[in-house]
Structure 1
Amino acid sequence: MRLASLDGLRGLAAVVVVVGHARLVLLGDPTFVWPVPAELVEAGSAVGGRAVWLFFVLSGLVLTRLAQRSGFEYGPYLLSRLVRLYLPVAAAVAFTIVTMLLVPRTGTGFGPWIDTHPERFRVTDVVADLTLVSGVSGNLSPLWSLQWEVLFSMLLVLYVTVLRRAPWWCAVAAGVVTSAAGAAIGSALLQYLPMFAIGVGLAFGWERLGSAIARFRRVVSGGPATAIAVAALAAAACQPWATGQLLRAGFTPSVVNALAVGADAVASLLAAVVVTLVVGFDPVLQRLFSSPPFLWLGTISFSLYLIHEPVLIAAARLAGPVPLTVGVSLLLCLAVAVVFQRVVEGPAHRLSQGLRRGRIGVNGPD
């Protein structure tokens, strides 16, 4: 069954990523003063950075539910999935090259985020960005996540075969712990691929989770939101205390930092799990995220994710990294994403479905 509310959640996550990059553009304007406390700005930045992790969890959930359907065949699935990902990526790379030719990325003074982007596409950069799995060039930085999407897509059957033998909560727990360990030691492979396992575990336990959440809502007054808020506040309050205790116990700052990074990853991944479950099962949020505006965002989310960065950079280089430029460029990102979805992503999606001969449908863009 299609999970419409999760399509809307994916759309919101894409917007969060775009707004996070818009914030980085504004760092190039030394005169800009944030209208909210700095702590909220930093918190918003952290949420933007974790939105991609939510994409990984959702992909694990959606593709596992796809693999559980009768008639699933790995060969047609993999071919269609690669077409679904690589055609829009190739078009996004071409779009980025065009924007770089029209608005050269030369000169500095536009802020640390814009200034650190490569000035030109080399042949090796194009090859890296079109193949993805060996790493990306940085000319179109959102592609970094697509390399992990491709790897997971190819390994989907392995994930499903191995993890279905364990209780669903074991898969979720193993994914969270392994990913946090990868973050602590600085291993991208160990950090990102286990995130998909979290979604795989959620897919295996989806129906039982729905029943458990329904019982929880009947017992806990105010639904899950109250318990989630209390737990989040308690965790936030304990982190500085725990860091201080570890330092006083004689742990070196590098060890404490690694533990803090791991703990932050655990908290962020558990938050992704909670958000997915609440949006997936809470009746109010289901209706909200299944409403036309959110479903529209879900439809263009992959396109928006792919093309927003070159639009933001080109606009800032043309008119300066000032609030008005950023506001206009955000609207332009939405407009370009709509065109990109209709011209590139939509046809690629239909082609991928045709390659599966219409047997299985994918739950929206991943």
Structure 2
Amino acid sequence: MAVASSRFSALDGLRGVAALVVVVHHCLLVSPLMAAGYYGGDVGDNPVRLALMYTPLHLVWGGAEAVVVFFVLSGFVLSRAIRSRSFDWFSYFPSRVLRLYVPVVGAIVFGFVVLMMPHVNATSSPWLQRDSSDYDLGTVLQDLTLVGGTSGVVSPLWTLRWEVIFSLLLPVAAYAVRVIPAWLLGVLCVGLSTLGAAQDVAAMQYLPIFGVGVALEGEWDRISRTVDRMTRRAGGFVWTGILVLAVTMLSMHWLLLAPLGHAAAVALSQGPIVVGAALLVIMATHFGPLQRLLTWRPIAWLGGISFSLYLIHEPLVLMMAGASHAARWTVLTAVPLALIVAWVFWLVVERPAHHLSRTVRARATWKAAAPAQAASDSAAEEAARSEQDRTPIHA
């Protein structure tokens, strides 16, 4: 039981690292050359910039790849929560909506206040060419609904749209994994996501990524047995190979971009990126050194505030970009500031939302379930039921 608990705690750490990568991603986009390269232009001939753009080092600031990891994690953890005998659909929907929307409302209010403060864009980065004064009441209301699309003023909210939609479609995913072999469901979802990326159909590109997480959970026992058997025979060689494969797959878009161009890189890399994210989840829960790193106290703390960090960091990056003239200064100022503000946001907004969600779930379950069934819930099942609370994103 302790080993299993440690394994899944490592996923919180993985989520925290992915959230920090997104913060660094936006900080580096303050640089005109890095932003130009990201949008398909020229990064110049500086070897450091070239390495950060077109090699696996890109994963240090690979925001898009981090989002794929978020989506796979959400699909995995939510589908795992369904396994608990104490899971209840009647209570799931209101508690899940509260868990997601209350922090989102707080983040939108925070973003509105910060973006309305006077600031000057100190660089010519195309990422900074936005008019935050357009964040009026109508735009704010658009962001609050999420499912109809977001304004892009606070850009991380776009992922919450798909998070909410998948959360509402979770019964469909639960049914699919019952009638379709999990491995086949995973293959189909990777294929659909690849097709969606090639055709630029957002719903087809992003929603199947959650399905890969569902399929991963469906095959989890078999995967665990296989990995344990392989590591007993070959040990570190297996994990070295999986690590190289995962990093290569996650970097695929940037490895292909220069030789093939944007359209081909998008079409050919989507599938490998999704598979690479799934491999990373397997590594986080089975590879001892990585598992220990991700459960190390500072990383665990980062995982605890990851949702808050993801939601509130971008307005702070924009604010600090206005006070600096180079991306390196934005990284040095915005990252610590975002960590501090995210911790406060977690205390003031996210933790109360978590408690509210749990209260609503408990009351809704009590009304829907027979008293004898409610009395039979064990402590272990209560822990499993709380999985959906600890994993608000992806994001």
The 5 A counterparts of 1:159-178 are: 159-178=173-192
Quote how far apart the aligned CAs of 1:195 are: 0.4
Instruction: Spell out, residue by residue over 1:19-53, the C-alpha distance to the aligned partner (whole angstroms, 9 max, x if none).
Output: 111110133799x9978251333444463221001
Decide whether aligned partners of structure 1 residues 357 and 185 sit closer, same or farther in structure 2, where only a CA change above 3 A counts.
Answer: same
Decide whether aligned partners of structure 1 residues 325 and 275 sit closer, same or farther in structure 2, where only a CA change above 3 A counts.
Answer: closer
Quote how far apart the aligned CAs of 1:258 are: 4.9
Aligned to 2:137: 123
The 5 A counterparts of 1:186-265 are: 186-228=200-242, 231=245, 258=263, 260-265=265-270
Gaps of 5+ in 2: 36-43, 364-381
The 5 A counterparts of 1:274-289 are: 274-289=279-294
Decide whether aligned partners of structure 1 residues 320 and 58 sit closer, same or farther in structure 2, where only a CA change above 3 A counts.
Answer: same
Amino acid at match of 2:309: L
CA distance in 2, matches of 1:341, 1:155: 27
Aligned to 1:248: none
Quote how far apart the aligned CAs of 1:203 are: 1.1
Of 40, 47, 55, 2:52 maps to 40
> How many pairs are equivalent?
352
Amino acid at match of 2:266: V
Given the two structures, how large is their TM-score scaled by the length of structure 1?
0.87
Asked if the contact 1:103/1:318 (under 8 Å) is kept, the reply is no
CA distance in 1, matches of 2:233, 2:52: 33
Asked if the contact 1:176/1:194 (under 8 Å) is kept, the reply is yes
Decide whether aligned partners of structure 1 residues 229 and 80 sit closer, same or farther in structure 2, where only a CA change above 3 A counts.
Answer: closer
CA distance in 2, matches of 1:76, 1:282: 35
CA distance in 2, matches of 1:108, 1:311: 14
Moved over 6 A (4+): 32-35, 232-237
Quote how far apart the aligned CAs of 1:293 are: 1.3
Decide whether aligned partners of structure 1 residues 107 and 282 sit closer, same or farther in structure 2, where only a CA change above 3 A counts.
Answer: closer
Aligned to 1:249: none
Asked if the contact 1:169/1:201 (under 8 Å) is kept, the reply is yes
Gaps of 5+ in 1: 245-252
Aligned to 2:193: 179
Of 363, 386, 389, 1:361 maps to 386
Instruction: Spell out, residue by residue over 1:73-118, the C-alpha distance to the aligned partner (whole angstroms, 9 max, x if none).
Output: 11211111110110110010100111122235x7674421112354
Aligned to 1:157: 171
Amino acid at match of 1:93: I
Moved more, 200-209 or 33-42: 33-42
Amino acid at match of 1:138: G
CA distance in 2, matches of 1:68, 1:211: 19
Aligned to 1:22: 27
Decide whether aligned partners of structure 1 residues 68 and 200 sit closer, same or farther in structure 2, where only a CA change above 3 A counts.
Answer: same
CA distance in 1, matches of 2:326, 2:45: 13
Asked if the contact 1:316/1:326 (under 8 Å) is kept, the reply is no
- What SS does the corresponding residue of 2:169 show, helix, strand or coil? helix
Amino acid at match of 2:77: V
CA distance in 1, matches of 2:148, 2:344: 30
Amino acid at match of 1:39: A
The 5 A counterparts of 1:54-203 are: 54-104=69-119, 109-116=123-130, 118-203=132-217
